[in-house]
């Protein structure tokens, strides 16, 4: 059984500052692996709220070098390495987060990177194996041009995460057939923003697939997404699968390629 726990559903600078929806990323938990994806602003605070133990972190993924995706990563590295006393754990990122580039300084220091057991810099379509989970980086179009999404094959099903991207045709093929898809949808209906998807974009992606996901979670919603539940119903009606907006404490359970969800009380 896989549990995916959301430490918020917000994204973008305004949500990072105001913390209306939370921007702490999400956790993927199984019996043998605890992974934190995109530990943005407030990740550790949200973990404390939900009584999730940060010391029990085995892997960290930061998909790009924007604050709502990496700012708590160094603190999570410190937890993962038992206060930097043990060289252990897995750190995964794109090039800008781990090395920096002409536009971005690296988001995780050389010191913190030096303490992890394994370090991977991924570009689209690179593959790695993590504790028998096969992770494949996917393509995006975002203003960190090296941003990656991913899909990950686990014992209980295939998980997809678009990360931040505007609509591109490769999203259809990359996530066709996943069991559970986390899609970063920043605006409602057809309100397009460069580098991001709106609701109508993800509708087009899903309806163009040969095999749709069993469930979709809207994530990385911006300040102008004022009624996520209503927008989820709108998307669900258009794509004919369940759509659940991410919120602090949303827990999706993936077991034998089926999805259900509940909320953690806090």
**CA distance linking residue 166 with residue 94, whole number of Å:** 18
Domains with residue ranges and CATH for the chain: 2-263 (3.60.15.10)
Confidence label for 242 from pLDDT (cuts 50, 70 and 90): very high
Against a cut of 0.85, is the pTM above it?
A: yes
- The mean per-residue pLDDT over the stretch 99-112 comes to 96
Mean pLDDT, range 159-170, rounded to an integer: 98
Distance CA 242, CA 162 (A): 18
Query: Rounded mean pLDDT of the chain?
Result: 98
Tell me how far apart the alpha carbons of residues 26 and 217 are, in angstroms, rounded to a whole number: 12
Please give the pLDDT value at position 223.
95
Kindly indicate the confidence band of residue 203, based on its pLDDT and cuts at 50, 70 and 90. very high
Average pLDDT for residues 223-249, to the nearest whole number? 98
- C-alpha span between 187 and 191 (Å, rounded): 6
- Judge whether 88 and 131 are in contact, CB under 8 Å: no
Distance between CA atoms of residues 104 and 247, nearest Å: 29
At residue 129 the predicted structure's pLDDT band, cuts being 50, 70 and 90, is very high
Q: How confident is the model at residue 4 (pLDDT cuts 50, 70, 90)?
A: very high
Question: How many residues are there in the chain?
Answer: 266
Mapped onto helix, strand or coil, the DSSP state of residue 53 is: coil
Terminal Cα distance for the chain, rounded? 23
**Residue with structure tokens 């990950």?**
152
Which residues make Cβ contacts (< 8 Å) with residue 47, sequence separation at least 6?
A: 7, 24, 27, 53, 54
**39-97 pLDDT per residue, tens:** 999 999 999 999 999 999 999 999 999 999 999 999 999 999 999 999 999 999 999 99
Residue 233's nearest CA partner among 212, 223, 220, 218 is 218
pLDDT confidence bin for 205, thresholds 50/70/90: very high
% of the chain surpassing 90 pLDDT: 99
């Amino acid at each position: 059984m896989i549990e995916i726990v959301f430490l918020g559903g917000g994204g973008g600078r305004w949500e990072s500052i105001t913390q209306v929806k939370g921007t702490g990323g999400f956790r993927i938990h199984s019996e043998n692996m605890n992974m934190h994806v995109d530990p943005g602003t407030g990740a550790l605070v949200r973990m404390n709220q939900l009584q999730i133990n940060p010391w029990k972190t085995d892997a960290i993924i930061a998909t790009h070098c924007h604050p709502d995706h990496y700012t708590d990563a160094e603190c999570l590295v410190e937890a993962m390495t038992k206060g930097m006393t043990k060289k252990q754990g897995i750190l995964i990122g794109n090039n800008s987060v781990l090395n920096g580039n002409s536009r971005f300084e690296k988001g995780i220091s050389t010191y913190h990177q030096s303490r992890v057991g394994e370090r991977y810099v991924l570009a689209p379509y690179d593959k790695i194996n993590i504790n028998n989970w096969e992770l494949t980086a996917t393509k995006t179009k975002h203003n960190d041009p090296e941003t990656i999404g991913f899909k990950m094959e686990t014992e209980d099903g295939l998980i997809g995460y678009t990360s931040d991207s505007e609509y591109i045709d490769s999203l259809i093929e990359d996530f066709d057939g996943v069991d559970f898809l986390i899609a970063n949808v920043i605006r409602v209906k057809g309100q397009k923003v460069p580098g991001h998807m709106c609701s109508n974009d993800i509708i087009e992606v899903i309806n163009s697939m040969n095999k749709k996901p069993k469930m979709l979670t809207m994530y990385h919603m911006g300040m102008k997404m004022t009624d996520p539940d209503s927008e989820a119903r709108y998307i669900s009606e258009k794509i004919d699968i369940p759509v659940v907006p991410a919120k602090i404490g949303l827990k999706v359970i993936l077991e034998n390629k089926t999805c259900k969800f509940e909320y953690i009380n806090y």
